[in-house]
């Protein structure tokens, strides 16, 4: 099944998608929308274009596993996204995904504005890969 991953952010939201066999996660891009309603509409459009059957949304947890204000915001966004898309929205722990994304970009020597433009999409890929690993086991 095609799954769309979302790394929800205040300024930028990264997107990634997997193939129907759930083998390969690829970046889709980054949306720069701060209005949650409009962002959900844009994500719904992309989900329909990509024929996604499920959405995985990164859930930011504290390192000790607790949830703070940002996690509450993501849960509310997940509810709104489910209503706007009509798809199941599952939450995936996203601890350290941004750190991993920066590490991956360091390996490709991606710097400056180019790095800022892709780090959220790379984070979405990592969220999706973690989700796929977790559901296969």
Residue 85: count other Cβ atoms within 10 Å of its Cβ.
21
**Domain encompassing residue 68:** 3-136
> Would you state the pLDDT for residue 38?
96
CATH of the domain at 109: 3.30.420.140
As for how many domains the chain has, the answer is: 1
DSSP secondary structure letters along 93-118? E-TTHHHHHHHHHHHTT--HHHHHHH
- Mean per-residue pLDDT, 57-62: 87
pLDDT of 44 over the 70 cut: yes
- pLDDT value of position 101: 57
More confident residue, 97 or 41: 41
* Beta strands 54-59 and 25-31, pairing class: unpaired
Share of residues in the chain with pLDDT > 90 (%) = 57
Least confident among 12-21, 87-96, 116-125:
116-125
Angle in degrees, 0-180, between the axes of helices 112-136 and 97-107, rounded to the nearest 10: 120
């Amino acid at each position: 099944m095609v799954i769309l991953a979302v790394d929800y952010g205040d300024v930028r939201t990264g997107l990634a998608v997997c193939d129907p066999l759930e083998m390969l996660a690829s970046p889709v891009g980054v949306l720069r929308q701060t209005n949650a309603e409009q962002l959900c509409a844009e994500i719904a459009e992309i989900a329909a274009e990509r024929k996604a059957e499920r959405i995985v949304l990164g859930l930011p947890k504290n390192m000790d596993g607790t949830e703070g204000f940002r996690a509450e915001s993501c849960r509310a966004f997940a509810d709104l996204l489910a209503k706007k898309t009509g798809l199941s929205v599952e939450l995936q722990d996203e601890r350290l995904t941004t750190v991993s994304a920066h590490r991956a970009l360091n390996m490709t020597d991606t710097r400056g504005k180019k790095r800022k433009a892709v780090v959220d999409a790379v984070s979405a890929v990592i969220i999706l890969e973690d989700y796929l690993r977790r559901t296969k086991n």
